[in-house]
Structure 1
């Protein structure tokens, strides 16, 4: 048989058969006087075996162990199990991707943004930014807040904290809540680049107000002992300014003490 005949009967391409030859998993057959490969039935059977194993997920480099005698059955079984586990993980990953695509399709169909950040959070932050557009420093802080929540949304796309969504929904609808949030954030911003010892009264006052503002607190401080949040990096992880870190650490310490 010519290579085209083997390819047709085995359901593969001639190029695939030549690839098997190059890898050394299909021995080269004898050639005719005209220098054509002359395949036997045994060659066709091996091609079909290789193709069968390959489509089952066996890497081509491993095929000889499955086809040739002498391989330990325990080794073959172990390799199959490893491949099966890897395939199961891949299937789970594809399922998650399919679910995310379905969710994105729903949002697009409803005319919503397909970015990972919940629409309520994005809308409220956009409103806040519009209200303080003349304060470049505060706008920068609000944009950083949005970036942090985008990071959280990307890190946990299927479980963005509902408490945060609910609070930003309230901020977007309630002017007083929005004003309280902007006031706390402004006071937190104003601590930047100032020595904690110099602004200790401001720190004390802000810590007290944050502890009283249960709903707004996590928007400034980040994940707290209240919710056991560990889904992503908190403000404590990402804020390097000493005075601001003093606020975060003291709020978390006080809340932790209240729970004990």
Structure 2
């Protein structure tokens, strides 16, 4: 077999290892899938009545406001679910490093890149699961996306791209960490970006300095693209910006991860 075929086969084995660990130790998966749903319930039922009334177009406080805020906040929590799943990847790869399994893999006749590929592919599966469960929960609460078939296909492709970008970046952060605790903390700033963007309140409602930051950081075009695709009215320019951000983060995270992994396995 060629080197590419061997790498693909080894990556499939590492993916199977990741999925088996998800099944045998489900607590992290339950947390990553369940937390976005809990946040959805919190923001819609506790804050939604008031925050929804403050959205552009006006709404009455209470049930009317909650319904409008459900439509507004769901895309932000979809993105937050992807960030949370990627954070789990940083924790998983740090666990592998600190328990010595990476050193064990070095002694085996396997493709080195497959160790990273297994984490990335497994995290994408976990991320898609978390985002899917969140969307089902939102629909159960009354959310009604306006996307057609083409919109759902585009949304699925974009969310996979987003998951890959975040996973590669968090994978590098996990390799950079000396402990599992550090790996769980380093990706935390990523979770703040939806709050400092257009995820939970309109950018126009922010003070001038924060409004500038919100308009130019990656979470805002990503959230607006998810929001537009779900509503069936995605803006091409915003989507292009979001895809560009995802591509940059994916390439940077991939290059950084490979460099750190080579340094780890040769150190």
TM-score (norm 1): 0.31
- Taking CA–CA contacts closer than 8 Å with sequence separation of 6 or more, which of the two structures ends up with the larger relative contact order? 2
| Greater Rg by CA | 1
